[in-house]
Structure 1
Amino acid sequence: MGRVQLEEFVAGYLGGASSVIVGHPLDTVKARLQAGQGYGSTFNCIFTIYRNENIAGFFKGLSFPLASIAIYNSVVFGIFSHAHRFISQYRNTSQRHPPDLIDLTFASMLAGCVSVGIGGPVDLVKIKLQMQTQSATSDVVSLTHSTTLRHYQTTYKGPIHCVNCILRKEGLLGMYRGSGAMILRDIPGYCLYFIPYIYLSEWLKLECHTTPSALSVWLAGGIAGAISWGTATPMDVVKSRLQADSLYNRKYRGVKDCITQSYCNEGIQVFFKGITVNAIRGFPMSAAMFLTYELSLRAMKTSKESN
């Protein structure tokens, strides 16, 4: 049992690393659209980041999630796999194919709860690093009426400096700012992540195969990611705004206040900012995540059986 547990956690780690590398550029665009100002459309946001910050702008804050989200995904996937196994054995549904919906739902909800405890601080630091160019120290009108030069302030030198600043100014609780919105996002979000993946991979599995092919895993993972991230967008907007809020000036007192202010100032459409990016980003990220997870897990199990 211990060996299987280790293999699933290692596979989750490798899958998490691959998903971060694939998805981080669009994650930066999503964060700017949701918590920033003046970007307008998705394509305008991409063009603005490239014009002002070059390619490096899309990879702000990458080092921290690359090091930490891999561990985070390792825990989430390990918790889901073992929780599902335990629940199905307890309910005597372990032999069902496809797996029982109730078993998958409870395991997904547990994974969502665990994800907040580990992923909250990771997401907070990532958002703060991604949003650093959102606060202008001054606006200077340049030589022509149509051109404005903006001087930006860099607050954090890197992820370690960011964590130290948060802990010094806000304490340990400051690392979990936005966690309420993250819970409301991740519990249903993981249900719409793992459940569609399990059923789609079973449905796409070829009759002559006992396990889904690499193409089936890739496609099922991508579709599940697009569904999960697309439907999670409203609470993802609230979470991003709460986490970016304390970077310069505190605007929101909590989840309810953020929802109320955002709706009053920008209307219902504000909660769908970045939905296109979320859905598009969710496909390659999750496809890479599940494909790496499944292939590495199979490789480790094959290696164990051959020894």
Structure 2
Amino acid sequence: MDFWPEFLASSWGREFVAGGFGGIAGIISGYPLDTLRIRQQSSNKGSAFSILRHVVAKEGPFALYRGMAAPLASVTFQNAMVFQIYAIFSRACDSSVPATDPPSYKGVALGGFSTGAMQSLLLSPVELVKIRLQLQNTGKVTEPHKGPSQVAKTIWKKEGLKGIYRGLGVTMLRDAPAHGFYFWTYEYMREQLHPGCRKSGQESLNTMLIAGGLAGVASWVCCYPLDVIKTRLQAQTPSSVKYRGIFDCLKKSVKEEGYSVLWRGLGTAVARAFVVNGAIFAAYEISLRCLFNNGSIQLEEAI
């Protein structure tokens, strides 16, 4: 009975809940664009608009949300873990900064890098299931599935633990530097847009949305070719193995489709990143301030 009041009374509990709200806002706002990105990366069937028309006409608009349950189910814990680990590492990576001051930009970048590497352990299986569901009815995934749990059971039965963590290496290579850029860009841009906000904790909603959106764009641009390779590796099933690893996938993809394949779907990813990460940081910051009671007043004054 007393768990939730005590949980929300702690700083860790507030960070956990705020991170969950941020992640949920990001998933719901950007999932259709993510489905289009995945389909663009896995094939060469035209622009995002042509794929959108085809999906809606052939499979219905709800196909754009296929596989959303997998990331949505894990998003609260994942986002809470990301923000908590980042808070710890951003301080630990540069201990010269006083505890009363915000982390240095060096600490922010190194903390984000460490956070990205660690969260890959959780994110890789979730994205594997999501990709398998998103690529149904495209010819890339032949086994029909009704939901994420059935996909996970099928992968475990046919491929075991190795199958569940297919693509872990490339996920880690993608997420570690991407998260370094992600948190550094957010902290830098919010300070440029609203000088002094890193110390005062007061900023406008527009600052959160723009800084968060730009952080998402920066993180995707720096790692996008690795994301294309990750999608192709995780889309493989035991009956359709084409690539033996990261470098083999890179070599064959470029040979067959040219270097442009490494940037296919970037426009969709950038648009999605701006929307999603603006929503994540805005929801996270607002939720955190509301949980501290006085935050909502500060936000109203800053808008």
Deviates most, 237-246 or 127-136: 127-136
Aligned match of 2:97: 92
Aligned match of 1:27: 34
Q: Is the 8 A contact 2:30 2:272 kept in 1?
A: yes
Distance (whole Å) between structure 2 residues aligned to residue 154 and residue 184 of structure 1: 29
- SS of 1:40's equivalent? coil
Matched, 1:297 2:301: no
Deviates most, 204-213 or 223-232: 204-213
Q: Which amino acid aligns with 2:46?
A: G
- Please state how far the C-alpha of 1:4 moved relative to its aligned partner: 1.1
Aligned match of 2:55: 49
Mark the runs of 5 or more structure 1 residues left unpaired by the alignment. Answer: 137-151
Matched, 1:260 2:267: no
Q: Check 1:85–1:6 CA distance in 2 against 1; reply closer, same or farther (3 A cut).
A: farther
Aligned match of 2:127: 123
Identity, % of aligned positions: 35
Which of 97, 101, 104 is the aligned partner of 2:105? 101
- Please state how far the C-alpha of 1:197 moved relative to its aligned partner: 0.3
- Please state how far the C-alpha of 1:206 moved relative to its aligned partner: 5.6
RMSD: 2.2
Aligned match of 2:206: 215
The size of the alignment, in residue pairs, is 286
Q: Check 1:168–1:206 CA distance in 2 against 1; reply closer, same or farther (3 A cut).
A: same
Scaled by the length of structure 2, the TM-score of the pair is 0.88
Q: Which amino acid aligns with 2:77?
A: I
Mark the runs of 5 or more structure 2 residues left unpaired by the alignment. Answer: 1-6, 296-303
Distance (whole Å) between structure 2 residues aligned to residue 247 and residue 72 of structure 1: 28
- SS of 2:81's equivalent? helix
- Please state how far the C-alpha of 1:280 moved relative to its aligned partner: 0.5
Which of 41, 63, 70 is the aligned partner of 1:64? 70
Matched, 1:183 2:172: yes
- Please state how far the C-alpha of 1:218 moved relative to its aligned partner: 1.0
Distance (whole Å) between structure 1 residues aligned to residue 252 and residue 88 of structure 2: 41
- Please state how far the C-alpha of 1:23 moved relative to its aligned partner: 0.7
- Please state how far the C-alpha of 1:79 moved relative to its aligned partner: 0.9
Pairing 1:108-147 to 2, within 5 Å after superposition: 108-135=112-139
Distance (whole Å) between structure 1 residues aligned to residue 209 and residue 119 of structure 2: 23
- SS of 2:45's equivalent? coil
Distance (whole Å) between structure 2 residues aligned to residue 203 and residue 53 of structure 1: 44
Deviation by residue 1:19-48 (Cα, 9 ceiling, x = unmatched) = 00001000000000001x342112111111
Q: Is the 8 A contact 2:22 2:281 kept in 1?
A: yes
Deviation by residue 1:217-245 (Cα, 9 ceiling, x = unmatched) = 11100111112123321111000000001
Q: Is the 8 A contact 1:202 1:212 kept in 2?
A: no
Deviation by residue 1:120-157 (Cα, 9 ceiling, x = unmatched) = 01100000000011218xxxxxxxxxxxxxxx955212
Q: Is the 8 A contact 1:19 1:288 kept in 2?
A: yes
Aligned match of 2:11: 4
Which of 256, 267, 278 is the aligned partner of 1:276? 267
Distance (whole Å) between structure 1 residues aligned to residue 226 and residue 117 of structure 2: 15
Q: Check 1:259–1:291 CA distance in 2 against 1; reply closer, same or farther (3 A cut).
A: same
Which of 193, 204, 214 is the aligned partner of 2:182? 193
Scaled by the length of structure 1, the TM-score of the pair is 0.87
Distance (whole Å) between structure 2 residues aligned to residue 241 and residue 225 of structure 1: 22
Aligned match of 2:299: none
Aligned match of 1:156: 145
- Please state how far the C-alpha of 1:73 moved relative to its aligned partner: 1.5
- SS of 1:105's equivalent? helix
